[in-house]
Amino acid sequence: MNQTWNQRYAEKDFAYGILPNEFLKEQIEKLPKGNILLPCEGEGRNAVYAAQNGWNVTAFDFSDAGFEKANLLASQNQVTINYCIADALEISFEPESFDVIALIYAHFSEKARLQFHAKIITWLKPGGSIILEVFNPLQLNNTSGGPKEVSMLYTKEIIEHDFKKLTTKLLSLESIVLNEGKYHQGNAEVIRYVGIK
């Protein structure tokens, strides 16, 4: 799996573009600046945007090539991000370290998902937000990206279960049109979620 992402991120162009995810952008613009964590951040588009807008950014991905592209993008935009190479199931942060944790197309197997989602709740400060945009099973009918295994896609019920300790501010299934680089193009079926600790 790591090799797949390294190959994708080793391409000259940015796989998902250099602009932030629209839902993430919309949500963090409403919030006071603070510490934000971006897991599975790939080439850094969301991390760089957050840093440009006054957030203290921590991000990670297990792809070496993603790490290199993210630091290149940060340098080009003259911002600093704290980005490391790490596996989502192995990395650890202090409890209550982050005001926002944003999962943008971070898909896992069921076992890994349950484990990781439980961890990130502990890293979130009281009053902090989890922001999430992921593909739902209807996405299997589209060619705009995402896992091809239904077990790695999200339903409302999955999100309600995994984040039952949070207060749901937003949870919606949406049909959108993606325009995020080469690999996220066209009609998409997503779930958008915001939960407050």
pLDDT of residue 5: 85
Contact in structure between 43 and 31 (CB atoms under 8 Å): no
When pLDDT is cut at 50, 70 and 90, the band that residue 2 belongs to is low
| Residues 190-196, mean pLDDT to the nearest whole number | 98
Domain count, the chain: 1
**How much is the pTM?**
0.96
- Using DSSP's 3-state secondary structure scheme, residue 97 falls into coil
Give the domain range for residue 50: 2-196
pLDDT of residue 139: 98
Tens of pLDDT, residue by residue over 122-168, are 999 999 999 999 999 999 999 999 999 999 999 999 999 999 999 99
Contact in structure between 104 and 74 (CB atoms under 8 Å): no
Residue 89 CA, distance from chain mean position: 15
When pLDDT is cut at 50, 70 and 90, the band that residue 7 belongs to is confident
Give me 63's structure tokens. Answer: 């792809």
pLDDT of residue 1: 54
CATH number of residue 43's parent domain? 3.40.50.150
pLDDT of residue 193: 98
Does position 101 have pLDDT exceeding 80, yes or no? Answer: yes
Amino acid identity, position 12: K
pLDDT of residue 106: 97
Give me 19's structure tokens. Answer: 């602009």
CA end-to-end span of the chain = 32
pLDDT of residue 10: 85
| Residues 23-28, mean pLDDT to the nearest whole number | 98
Q: What is the mean pLDDT of the chain?
A: 96
When pLDDT is cut at 50, 70 and 90, the band that residue 81 belongs to is very high
